[in-house]
Structure 1
Amino acid sequence: MNFFDRALPLEEPPVRLWQEDPELFEGLDRRAQREAQLQAVAPALRVDPGPWSGRLEAVEDPSDHLGLLVIEGMLIRTVVVGRRSHSEVITSGDVIRPWEENEDSSAPSSATWTAAESTRLAVLNPAFLRWSCRWPALMSAIMGRAIRRSQSLALQLAITDVRRVDERILLLFWHLADRCGRVRADGVLLPLRVTHETLAELVGAQRPTVTSALQKLSRSGRIRRLPDKTWLLTPMESTLATDVGPAPQTILPAA
């Protein structure tokens, strides 16, 4: 099976999905898993840190692609409505279709994509779609990734309802750590390299308030900014906020 028809120029080595994301194939029977080890290969795309167009430059019409699977790295999607904006974190395991925006919405909005770090994506092109349709369990797993992303976004928006900004940040950090954190002897490493302004968009607050909240959390020992701009989270007896107030104005990014 050739998964590289109508794909991108192969500047990045192809992705062997069985090795990079074995969880996708857990629902397949043994025969299908053996086949997946050999054939589940997809073209790869690497996005350098900074703004990203979200387009597949070498593909005229990507509508027949299943999507892009994040293999490693982190993307930030920001939706702007009027003068308000809200951001979403997209990380390893998420499935996205960045060429699709909600252009038919009656509420005018715009969306931008940014790579918070070097990010590698698997291009689930038409050839991969034809192959994967043979295995309903695999298609179900991919659909589950899309649902997981929507649930993660719903939780992130719920976090913005917490009254205290320091609690919002702490809850967001631990939520993201569950998805992409790495456990160390001294805590959990969260590779979230974003500015205070972007963090403010993630928690629905103003940048100066976020800066003050980060300083408070650092003094309490709950978080520590490392020299490489990542965060070290220190487990506490409780990280859950209990002081929940009225919901501030939030903006839900389009799917």
Structure 2
Amino acid sequence: MAMEITSNYSSYAAQGMADNTKKRAEKTSEPVKTNNTESTSDYLSKLQKQVPYMTLEVGSGLSMARDNKVNTLAVNPKLLEKMQNDPEKAKEYTQRLKDIENAQKFVDGYMKAKGSKTKFSHWYVDENGNYSHIAYYEHDNTFYKKLSEKSRENIEKHIEKTREKAVEKQKEFQEKLEEKRTGQEDGTATPNKAEQLLEEKMSASKDGTIYLNDTDMKTIIEAVQEEDAGKTTVKDQPQVGANLDLKI
């Protein structure tokens, strides 16, 4: 089964997306003029260190190529120019790139736990900081087909226990979070909500194709932001597929 995920933030028109299929996000040949003596490539290299999970490129559009490349993130040269010349813009959009990186990590981890392999994944951030995204995941059932019925039962039991523990930990975390937020409004998006969204999308898909719109992708990004705001770590949080030390 194959799953394709596409998302588009802000006001991208269908025609614009069609035009982008004709060109991959690629490095521009002409240098960007900035008030900073630092070259665009050097600045991009510094940004790359901020988001090591992604592969940064200078580009003018979302790559639609099914090229087996994963987690590429093309940034419009005009946005890079703004960031180089304005510290506040640099801070704002560097955080935007980090948010994208965290969202990609979340989706990748979830899909991997479900037995899906990333075939390609591309992001693009335009000159105004708006992002668009496309990814393709392929589900492989070969592993499960080779297992005996007993082995499958053991895996299912192990997964169920892991899920139960994850629910308990998440409940404890939520209770502590509520205590800290007494008198304040609750957050509207949590990592669990993002996970639930992906689960619903996968369950509802008849042909393996999944479409994530602006609201969907924002939910995932906000979920990760909420987690960071709670000052939690990966070790403290229950994750789908985590600690599956299976013995078959």
Identify the structure with the greater helix proportion.
Answer: 2
Identify the structure with the greater strand proportion.
Answer: 1
The normalised TM-score by structure 1 is 0.29
The higher-RCO structure (CA 8 Å, 6+ apart) is 2
The normalised TM-score by structure 2 is 0.30
